[in-house]
Amino acid sequence: MKQLISLEVNGDTHEIAVEADATLLSVLRDNLGLIGAKRGCDSGGCGCCTVHVDGKAVYSCMMYALSAQGQEIVTIEGLGTEGKLDPVQDTFVKEGAVQCGYCTCGMIMTAKQLLHDDPHPDEHAIRHGIAGNLCRCTGYHKIVEAIKTAADN
């Protein structure tokens, strides 16, 4: 049975009818059309569904939409401003830290919290910080470099 909930996503309030067991990921993608967060494993194993809930990176596939009520949700679509990428997004592009792109949105959301908590992480801290995000293309090297550059800028 569906119920009406209110979610705060990227600064906008949305009233949405959802099943009680709908995950935040499915509501973002299927109800709100925010397809930046990807559905990879749907079970906490890959990180490509990472979004921020009250400023913290979480796997949106592991959170019920009903539990996310009353909290501020930010997806990759909420970073940057019209026509201007967020600095971390920009660095990923410039450093070529993207191949197929499937992991990228989640990786950037994780990198955002990593850099927020530790503005000057060393390589070990970066690798440890993104351990919950898999990338099957890049071999991580360029991702780590991009996060380093974003920190330096």
Partner 1 sequence: MALVKLKEFCIPESPGQVSACAAKYGDNALILGGGSFIHGLEARGLLSEVEALIDIRKLGLAGMAATGEGVRIGAMTTFAELEKLPELASAAWLGALKDALTYPPMQIKNVATVGGCIAASCPFFDIPTAFLALDAKLTVSGAGAKREIGLAELFAGLFENSLEPGELITEVRLAKPAGRAASAFIKLEGTANDLAIVNAAVRISVDAAGVCQEVRIALGGGVGDSVVRSASAEKLLLGQKLSADLIQHAAEAVGQDISPMEDHRATAAYRLAMAKVITRRALNQALSRLN
Ligand X SMILES: Cc1cc2nc3c(=O)[nH]c(=O)nc-3n(C[C@H](O)[C@H](O)[C@H](O)COP(=O)(O)OP(=O)(O)OC[C@H]3O[C@@H](n4cnc5c(N)ncnc54)[C@H](O)[C@@H]3O)c2cc1C
Tell me which residues touch ligand FES (CB under 6 A).
Answer: 39-42, 44-49, 59, 61, 98-104, 135-138
Q: How far apart are CA 128 and CA 145, in angstroms?
A: 14
Out of ligand FES, partner 1, ligand X, none, which partner does residue 125 contact, by CB within 5 to 8 A per kind? Answer: none
The one of ligand FES, ligand X, partner 1, none whose footprint includes residue 6, by CB under 5 to 8 A per kind, is none
Closest distance to partner 1 from the beta carbon of 24 (Å): 10
How many chain residues touch partner 1 (CB under 8 A)? 33
* 30 vs 46: CA distance, rounded Å: 20
Task: Please choose which of partner 1, ligand FES, ligand X, none residue 100 contacts, taking the beta carbon within 5 to 8 angstroms, the exact cut-off set by kind.
Answer: ligand FES
Q: How many residues does the chain have?
A: 153
Measured between alpha carbons, how far is 103 from 21 in angstroms, rounded to an integer?
25
- Vertex 102: Cα angle to 97 and 22 (nearest 5): 140
Q: 103 touches which of ligand FES, ligand X, partner 1, none (CB within 5 to 8 A by kind)? A: ligand FES
Give the alpha-carbon dihedral of 79, 46, 149, 125, to 10 degrees: 120
Taking Cα atoms as reference points, which of 40, 31, 24, 21 lies closest to residue 102? Answer: 40
Tell me: does residue 44 bind ligand X (CB under 6 A): yes
If the CB atoms of residues 62 and 137 are measured against partner 1, the closer one turns out to be 62
* Residue 45 is a binding residue for partner 1 (CB under 8 A): yes
Integer Cα distance of 91 and 121 in angstroms? 16
d(CA 102, CA 99): 8
Binding region for partner 1 (CB under 8 A): 1, 3, 19-21, 23, 42-45, 47, 50, 53, 56-59, 61-64, 66-67, 69, 110, 113-114, 128-129, 131-134
Q: Which residues bind to ligand X, rule: CB under 6 A?
A: 44-45
